[in-house]
Structure 1
Amino acid sequence: MIVVVLGVTGSGKSTVGAALADALGMPFLDGDAVHPAANVARMRAGHALDDADRAPWLRALADRVSASADAGRGLVVACSALKRRYRDELRSAAPGVWCLHLVLDRHTARRRVAARTGHFMPAELVDSQFDDLEPLDPDEPGATLDATGDLPATLALARSAVAGFGGGAVR
């Protein structure tokens, strides 16, 4: 099983993804760690990424998804995967890729991003993420969860959704 935890910046992808990976006994990959240095510098400077900027990053993530599947290992990946074509690229890397879309409103995302420290994504880029966001289509394997609640509530919903996908027992 490969689970892609997606959403705009500030939705809790990394936090929820890491907790899910732990609960499922699977490795966790934070997509932020895979961004090329040029992408990180661009975002840190307040410039939104475009499709060309994201292409090598998506390819690197798809390669990691493929390698996990080829090795027979599950994986939880946290990445924005804002557009359908990005998710299609990740799904084409291995069978059984399932998406967990964490949703929240712009105000909550801005507040969360402004409050965090040590991250390269500034709050002024929140709107660009919402502008690019294409919610999961009905034919995409996955679930959409409200991520505006507190972390324990969001994690409980996420664990339930993954178990419903066929992830088996979640610790």
Structure 2
Amino acid sequence: MRRRVVLMGVAGCGKSAVGAALAARLGAAYLDGDDLHPPENIAKMSRGEPLTDDDRLPWLARVAGALAEPRGILFLGCSALKRRYRDQIRAQAGAPVVFVHLSGSKALITARMAARSGHFMPKSLIESQFAALEPPMADEEAISVDIDAPIDTLVATIAAKLQEMPS
């Protein structure tokens, strides 16, 4: 089985924490898409500047390339905020990709961003993240979960929903 699962959503929604916990629960690998950003993107976001579509193209190609590598189940955290980004990832991944949209209110995300430290993404970019977000549509292979729950509950919910999907 070569299932690819992308944990997507705005900064601060829990992609890294939920992805790592899911991977551990299901005996899979987890990759953080933030580690695939070119240095120029990290520098730009660190300055509080939102990325443009052109900035994201090489990063999305790296994400798709990581998903295309042969291995078993893989979870990868990537904002994938727009439909065209998800379409690019799907087209280049070499295997079916399921997107898990970690959805939360702006107030909850803002509180989480304020509480985290050591990440290059500043709280000031929350507005641009929500402005760019295009939640997955019904015709996309996607799951949406509300993040206002304990991580164990989120992981159990997502794992159950993934089990229900054809592999």
* Structure-1-length-normalised TM-score: 0.91
Within a 5 Å distance, the mapping from 1:54-133 to structure 2 comes to: 54-67=56-69, 71-92=70-91, 93-133=93-133
Alignment partner of 2:165: what SS?
Answer: helix
Compute the RMSD of aligned alpha carbons. 1.2
Q: Pick the aligned partner of 2:39 from 37, 51, 66.
A: 37
CA deviations over 1:20-51 (Å, ceiling 9, x no partner) = 11122111110011111111111111111110
Counterpart CA distance in 1 for 2:95 and 2:116 is 35
CA drift of 1:95 comes to 2.7
CA drift of 1:161 comes to 1.6
CA deviations over 1:100-154 (Å, ceiling 9, x no partner) = 1010011111110111011111111011000000000100001100011222222
| Structure 2 residue 131 is matched with structure 1 residue 138 | no
Paired position in structure 2 for 1:164? 164
CA drift of 1:73 comes to 2.5
Counterpart CA distance in 1 for 2:58 and 2:163 is 32
Structure 1 residue runs of 4 or more that deviate by more than 2 Å after TM superposition: 71-74
Counterpart CA distance in 1 for 2:30 and 2:71 is 15
Q: How many residues align?
A: 164
Counterpart CA distance in 2 for 1:152 and 1:134 is 26
Counterpart CA distance in 1 for 2:6 and 2:57 is 17
Which residue identity is paired with 2:20? A
* Structure-2-length-normalised TM-score: 0.94
Identity %: 43
5+ residue gaps, structure 1, are none
| Structure 2 residue 2 is matched with structure 1 residue 25 | no
Counterpart CA distance in 2 for 1:108 and 1:100 is 18
CA drift of 1:166 comes to 4.2
5+ residue gaps, structure 2, are none
Counterpart CA distance in 2 for 1:8 and 1:23 is 23
